[in-house]
Amino acid sequence: MTTNNYAKHISTLTRTYTDALHYLSNQDTQPAAVLVHSGAQEHYYGDDRGVAFQAYGHLLHWIPVNRPNQFVYFRPDEKPIYFQIVPSDFWYEQDIDVESEWEETLTIVRLSSLNELGAQLKQHRVADIAYIGGHADIAASLGIDKSLINPKRLLAYLDFSRAVKTNYELEQLRAANRLALLGHAAAKTRFLEGGSEYEIHMAFLQATQNLEDECPYTNIVALNEKAAILHYQFKRRINGNKGTVLLIDAGCKVKAYGSDITRTSVSEAAHPKFRSLVTAMETLELALVEEVKPGKTYQSLHASTLKKIASILVDHNICKGEPANLIERNIPQLFMPHGVGHLLGIQVHDVAGHQSDVNGTILPPPKNSPALRNTRLMKANMVFTVEPGLYFIPLILEAERGSDRGKLINWNTVDELYPCGGIRIEDNIRVISDGAENLTRQFE
């Protein structure tokens, strides 16, 4: 972390929150300050074991502390306050390391319990404070007015603003990509050595020095046919069929910002046509990144992806006819049922992907691609993923075997490729003034 960039980041947040409160002053809800809550520790039902904690994204936007009951208080023209609650506890480690950059940009008030926070807020006119976070009961206990708990217009404004990143945020995203690529390299090596999904997963964690719950999401490590399950969640301990295809979707977090990278690797024993498909998809993904530029809609990037997928399907004799005919009949979506990507930042699928403005106006995905998570207009310093895929999913394809669309599918080829699962190639992309910065490939 460079002090200058973090200070500039806090200055940007200060302007954003000030503008948000000014915007709300013309609406029905008129808070004059904001209290951001990281969240509270939850427990499994009927158990005293805590669920792995994940702090609220807007708290992490201010300060990278992934702990329960941390608060940032903001009022315009005052230095933001970080209320750091550190319980007295001999069961768990509770200390929080404070970095010098925080002390220079925030007032840090250390408390030992949530009960002490209420007294602190009374010194700051609690009646006009808006609360954002996941615990309305805690907000009420602090004296926050019910109408000021998670005001929709405030959340819409702040969510929408998170898509464009500061230099501090870009530093963390680059570092998260660099670290994750170490894991991907180790995972590929273990795959080619004949490792199981579990062994490949552990190779990634070992190379990145991560615990599983420190990752931004659960690693997807799929061999062969399991690569056709988009969010495959298990890790088989035995590699009985000797994996010939590996799809690994895995990232790392740095200062709360996560990378999200997918690679598909094949062994020499993989089906020749599938090996050719992997090469074609890698070329396709890089071509899509070249299309990124400010002012372009993300929907147009998705539409371009479907056109390119249609050509690959025809070129590899998976489908018959002209690519334009496949597009007209929505056949590429049978092989790529997800969107080409999503906003990325503090959350893997970051907030406001379907918002078109700070008012919270929703721009839904196209009817022919309901799973598209991003419909935003591309803007400089926006960060998102580009992740085209091509899969052989029996649940989707078998429903078309006797249909009119199914007549355009070469079923002998599909049957041969079912055991290969599928392909996904994913990079993390920053929009710049004249195109894109590939936050992932620059470190490969």
* Tens-place pLDDT, residues 256-273: 999 999 999 999 999 999
The answer, yes or no, to whether residue 2 has pLDDT greater than 70, is no
Nearest CA among 302, 305, 388, 385 for reference residue 348: 385
* The token pair that represents 104 in the structure block: 């220079």
According to DSSP, the residues that pair with 110 across neighbouring strands are 84
* The token pair that represents 185 in the structure block: 């390299």
Q: Position 295: which residue type?
A: G
Q: How confident is the model at residue 1 (pLDDT cuts 50, 70, 90)?
A: very low
Rounded Cα distance between 30 and 18, Å, is 12
User: How are the residues of the chain apportioned to helix, strand and coil, as percentages rounded to the nearest 5?
Assistant: 40, 15, 40
User: Is the distance from CB of 363 to CB of 333 less than 8 angstroms?
Assistant: no
Rounded Cα distance between 22 and 13, Å, is 14
User: Is the distance from CB of 358 to CB of 161 less than 8 angstroms?
Assistant: yes
pLDDT of residue 3: 55
Q: Position 84: which residue type?
A: Q
pLDDT of residue 17: 98
pLDDT of residue 92: 94
Region 81-88: mean pLDDT is: 97
What average pLDDT is seen over the chain? 97
Q: How confident is the model at residue 171 (pLDDT cuts 50, 70, 90)?
A: very high
Q: What is the pLDDT of residues 177-191, one digit of tens each?
A: 999 999 999 999 999
Q: What is the pLDDT of residues 158-168, one digit of tens each?
A: 999 999 999 99
Neighbours of 354 (CB within 10 A): 17
The answer, yes or no, to whether residue 18 has pLDDT greater than 70, is yes
pLDDT of residue 41: 97
The pTM is what?
A: 0.97
User: What's 39-85 look like in SS3?
Assistant: CCCCECCCCCCECCCCCCHHHHHHCCCCCCCEEEEECCCCCCEEEEE
List the 107-111 sheet strands across, edge first: 107-111, 81-85, 70-74, 33-37, 129-132
Neighbours of 136 (CB within 10 A): 13
Q: Is residue 98 left, alpha or beta, with left meaning phi > 0 and alpha meaning psi from -120 to 50?
A: beta
The answer, yes or no, to whether residue 211 has pLDDT greater than 80, is yes
Q: Is residue 328 left, alpha or beta, with left meaning phi > 0 and alpha meaning psi from -120 to 50?
A: alpha
The answer, yes or no, to whether residue 294 has pLDDT greater than 70, is yes
From residue 131, give the alpha-carbon distance in Å to each of 27, 55, 161.
Answer: 17, 15, 18
Region 398-411: mean pLDDT is: 97
Rounded Cα distance between 310 and 325, Å, is 9
* The token pair that represents 305 in the structure block: 């992806």
Region 245-251: mean pLDDT is: 98
pLDDT of residue 30: 87
From residue 75, give the alpha-carbon distance in Å to each of 14, 144, 231, 266, 370.
Answer: 9, 15, 41, 55, 40
The answer, yes or no, to whether residue 11 has pLDDT greater than 80, is yes
Rounded Cα distance between 16 and 28, Å, is 20
Domains of the chain: 3-161 (3.40.350.10), 252-443 (3.90.230.10)
Q: Is beta strand 389-391 parallel, antiparallel or unpaired with respect to 383-386?
A: unpaired
Q: How confident is the model at residue 112 (pLDDT cuts 50, 70, 90)?
A: very high
Q: What is the pLDDT of residues 121-141, one digit of tens each?
A: 999 889 999 999 999 999 999
